[in-house]
Amino acid sequence: MNRPPSVLGPHAPVDLSAFGRDPWWLILAKAVGVFAFLVVTVLAAILIERKVMARMQHRVGPNRVGPFGLLQSLADGIKLALKEGITPAGVDKPVYLLAPIIATVPAFLAFAVIPFGPVVSVFGTRTPLQLTDLPVAVLYVLAITSIGVYGIVLAGWSSGSTYPLLGGLRSTAQVISYEVAMGLSFAAVFLYAGTMSTSGIIAAQDRVWYVFLLLPSFAVYVVSMVGETNRAPFDLPEAEGELVGGFHTEYSSLKFAMFMLAEYVNMTTVSALATTLFLGGWHAPWPLNMWDGANSGWWPVLWFVGKVWVFLFAFIWLRTTLPRLRYDQFMRFGWQLLIPTALVWILVAAGVQAWALAGHDATVLAPAVSVLFTLAVVGFLAWRHRRQQETPPPPGAADLSVPFDPMAGGFPVPPMPGQYLPEPTRRELNEKPEKEASHG
């Protein structure tokens, strides 16, 4: 395929003729392979998450079941499957039983258009390492993952309980907010690649990955994918401290396990999509790409899986280090920052692409504009944060310079943002055990 000297500009039409020609046994093998890959990834992700979180929190983690605790995830899955399934009396039973299925099945279907590697030979048959591809494959992933959210909403509504209903409502608003930002982050990729096909987007990144050319889109997508999968610090539909367990409070046994499976499969799906759209897909990273055989044969599968696990580790890291946001902070972040940033960036990216289509060389311009726009957004956020801190409080507001008394009104209340509890003196700490002992 002949390309212009610039990293942007017109590209040749994407050739999808390699798809739809596989024999039935190869199609079946690919489908089983994708399913097995996702199930094994989920088992490994649960175990690695518990191990990594334990190490970050100076704990041991699972180390009893199997050598080094490697079979802990399998044992937990068997335990959940064998537990008694309890169906509360007040549920809408058909919807209640259908909701876990609606949440789980689309999570697997979304992986049908994700490329694992280039065209290889399987028992003498040349086939791409991808189940199928479509001219609008990325839109297919968006549509399928949107259907999966209905499982969460219906689970909360059908449970006949207050806290699951609140979790389902939160999930509805969350999906509407962050899917808009996610879709807008895709628009710049479509402009630069000239296609919505996943294999075509990977082919367009054979020279430069889009994470360098579209850094703002990558940042918006990374934040949106965490919110889309209901993971900490955006796990508001569950929110154990507020909603007991959120939308799955009334679920147990295998039905609860299906929700957990859907969450980790969705994490894998959005990580694979981020790899495909911004990290060159199965293309080898530098300096491995200097080896002639790095992007041929079965080696690209290794590069692809490695990139996916980088994102999965980021999910684990965020859960371990960041506290859950308040719901108003979460919604404000999506509507007032992510969506406006994505809209402005689309205009800037379209201008760069128009410059390239006019025959100019955008090899240096594209990454420079990407970095400058990102720095401008970061600078704006820092300026706004400083301005908010310097703004005097409105008349009648609580004085944040004095210690906060939680019992001033006769019953305990939490401090408002900016207020703080007075630190007890050493004498008070020493007198408290003595008073408790005297009362005892």
- Answer positive or negative: Cα dihedral of 98, 156, 159, 268: positive
Residue 1 confidence (pLDDT): 40
Residues 288, 58: contact at Cβ < 8 Å?
no
Helix (H) or strand (E) holding 429: helix 426-439
Return the structure tokens found at 266.
Answer: 């969705």
Cα 218 to Cα 6, 137, 223, distances in angstroms: 21, 19, 9
Domain spans in the chain, listed from the N-terminal domain onward: 80-386
The total of other beta-carbon atoms located within 10 Å of residue 140's CB is: 19
Return the structure tokens found at 244.
Answer: 């007991």
DSSP-derived secondary structure for 224-262: HHHHHTT-TTS-TTT-HHHHTTGGGTT--HHHHHHHHHH
The DSSP letter of residue 83 is S
Residue 264 confidence (pLDDT): 93
Residue 338 confidence (pLDDT): 92
Positions of the chain with pLDDT under 70: 1-7, 9-12, 393-403, 417-440
| Integer Cα distance of 311 and 326 in angstroms | 24
Residue 402 confidence (pLDDT): 61
Residue 395 confidence (pLDDT): 62
Quick one: the chain helix, strand, coil %, rounded to 5?
65, 0, 35
Angle in degrees, CA 216, 270, 13, rounded to 5: 70
> What confidence tens digit (pLDDT) does each residue in 77-95 have?
898 888 888 888 888 889 9
Read off φ and ψ for residue 12, nearest 5 degrees. -70, 150
Q: Please name the residue that has the structure tokens 């608003």.
A: 173
Residue 5 confidence (pLDDT): 45
Residue 324 confidence (pLDDT): 84
